[in-house]
């Protein structure tokens, strides 16, 4: 298969769902780690195609959701300075900090700009030598190579007015934190294909072995996801626990070596706090010693800023697969995309936003006549509509 339509073919989806139903003999819980996969699952009703014994839970794979509150507060403090041009992908501007968001800073005169690449921010630094240009470097291993490249290039050119506010997170330590949690329910993982396209999947192999958990590197289209679920279920039923690669058209075991080389030069592994989850040891990337002069936290002295999350928001439990969005008492009432209490609602890829968009009682499927249609199927889904526009996002942080 070469084209997107082929990965959304309803008949092929029904065949995969039937095969999963045929194979499964008992209940299993599988977590998809990526927010893009969560969105596809909810949008296309893939979870409702599955037998009731297979439960999909949503992991901490939305970069906007997991960016910690205090980093947003630090971004706001830096962006409010008159000498700064603050650059970010569009989806970060609406994420609430403790008191306001980056849009509010822009509305009150801050020079906050949406860019499509960190190299655009570097270009602004070249064009405005009288200003400090700061790029908000968030996301998973997917965005890290381009962000690393911008700093590498700035150092090579001797550009002094460019820096990164870094809040990168990495996936394997988060998987380990979920698996070692006493309330863990997850028995298998769909690992995010784009992360593995950069990193490969050798880091997942010791996790699969240590925790006896199948991990299937999976793509983002409906058939990818259903195929990933099938591979997980087969392993679980057969008592196997290895890493398998469903996304062979994009992922190699060793990853993208040129990207890894620049990442390893510019970044080092650091402890990182995840919004809603707390600190996970060695779960982030920060600038390495050789590039610390480009660290905006140090340049603008915001290292000590701290913040407390709303006690009402249960996004931490949602991000660990312990609860689902509709189990939150604020869902759809006190918390909506227009007035989010937590980042899993503000981000268009967040689990709460996906459920709000597609699973509100008043929500209608994209095309009611396009049910995938197996009589045993609980879904009413359409796989023919074009990809969802990402809310008001101009550029996603991790795609
Ligand atoms: S519905 Fe809102 S308050 Fe509840 S978990 Fe989701 S983001 Fe948090």
pLDDT digits (tens, 9 = 90+) for 13-23: 999 999 999 99
Helix (H) or strand (E) holding 55: strand 54-58
Name which residue sits closest to atom 6 of ligand 1, judged by CA: 352
Q: Model-level pTM?
A: 0.85
Close Cβ partners of 327 (under 8 Å, ≥ 6 residues apart): 314
Two structure tokens written together for 374: 């197996």
> Which contiguous run of DSSP H or E holds residue 134?
strand 132-139
- Sorted by sequence, the CB contacts under 8 Å of residue 176 that are 6+ apart come out as 207, 211
Average pLDDT over the chain reads: 88
Give the number of the atom of ligand 1 that is nearest the alpha carbon of residue 340: 2
List 64's β-bridge partners, or say none. none
The more confidently predicted of residues 394 and 175 is 175
Ligand 1 in reach of 335 Cβ (< 6 A): yes
Q: What is the mean pLDDT of residues 105-127?
A: 97
Q: Is the CB of 174 under 6 A from ligand 1?
A: no
Q: Is 14 left (phi over 0), alpha (psi -120 to 50) or beta?
A: alpha
User: Quick one: which atom of ligand 1 is closest to the CA of 332?
Assistant: 1
Tens of pLDDT along 95-110? 888 888 999 999 999 9
Confidence of residue 384 (pLDDT cuts 50, 70, 90): very low
**CA 366 to ligand 1 centroid distance, Å:** 24
CA separation, residue 365 to residues 39, 45, 376 (Å): 14, 9, 18
In the beta sheet, which residues pair with residue 141?
Answer: none
Tokens of 272: 């990182």
pLDDT tens-digit readout, 260-289 = 999 999 999 999 998 878 899 999 999 999
User: Strand order of the sheet with strand 278-287?
Assistant: 111-114, 84-88, 132-139, 162-169, 278-287, 267-274
Indicate whether 339 pLDDT > 90: no
pLDDT in tens, 194-231: 999 999 999 999 999 999 999 999 999 999 999 999 99
Model confidence at 34: pLDDT above 50: yes
For residue 335, give the ligand 1 atom closest to its CA: 2
Question: What is the bridge-based pairing of β-strands 111-114 and 84-88?
Answer: parallel
What is the predicted pLDDT for the residue at 361?
58
């Amino acid at each position: 298969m070469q084209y997107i339509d082929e990965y959304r073919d309803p008949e092929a989806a029904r065949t995969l769902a039937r095969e999963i139903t045929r194979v499964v003999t008992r209940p299993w819980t599988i977590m998809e780690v990526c927010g893009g996969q969560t969105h596809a699952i909810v949008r296309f009703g893939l979870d409702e195609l599955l037998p009731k014994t297979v439960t999909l839970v949503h992991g901490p794979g939305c970069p906007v959701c997991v960016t910690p509150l205090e980093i947003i507060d630090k971004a706001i403090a830096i962006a409010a300075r008159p000498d700064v041009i603050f650059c970010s992908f569009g989806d970060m501007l609406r994420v609430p900090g403790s008191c306001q968001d980056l849009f509010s800073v822009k509305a009150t005169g801050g020079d906050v700009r949406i860019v499509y690449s960190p190299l655009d921010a570097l270009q602004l630094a070249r064009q405005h030598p009288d200003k400090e240009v700061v790029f908000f470097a968030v996301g998973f291993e997917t965005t890290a190579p381009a962000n690393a490249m911008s700093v590498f290039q700035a150092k090579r050119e001797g550009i002094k007015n460019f820096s990164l506010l870094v809040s990168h997170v990495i996936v394997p330590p988060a998987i380990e934190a979920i698996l070692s949690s006493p309330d863990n329910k997850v028995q298998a993982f769909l690992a995010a294909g784009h992360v593995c396209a950069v990193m490969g999947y050798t880091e997942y192999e010791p996790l699969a072995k240590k925790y006896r958990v199948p991990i299937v590197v999976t793509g983002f289209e409906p058939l990818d996801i259903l195929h990933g679920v099938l591979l997980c279920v087969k392993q679980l039923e057969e008592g196997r626990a290895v890493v398998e690669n469903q996304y062979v058209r994009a992922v190699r075991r060793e990853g993208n070596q040129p990207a890894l080389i620049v990442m390893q030069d510019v970044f080092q592994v650091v402890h990182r706090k995840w919004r809603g989850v707390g600190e996970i040891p060695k779960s982030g990337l920060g600038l390495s010693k050789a590039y610390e002069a480009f660290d905006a936290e140090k340049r603008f002295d915001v290292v000590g800023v701290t913040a407390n999350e709303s006690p009402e928001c249960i996004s931490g439990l949602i991000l660990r697969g312990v609860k689902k969005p509709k189990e939150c008492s604020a869902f759809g009432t006190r918390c909506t995309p227009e007035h989010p209490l937590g980042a899993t609602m503000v981000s268009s890829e967040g689990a709460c936003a996906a459920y709000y968009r597609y699973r509100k009682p008043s929500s209608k499927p994209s095309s009611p006549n396009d049910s995938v249609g197996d009589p045993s199927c609980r879904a009413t889904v359409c796989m023919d509509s074009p990809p969802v526009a990402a809310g008001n996002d101009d550029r996603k942080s991790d795609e």
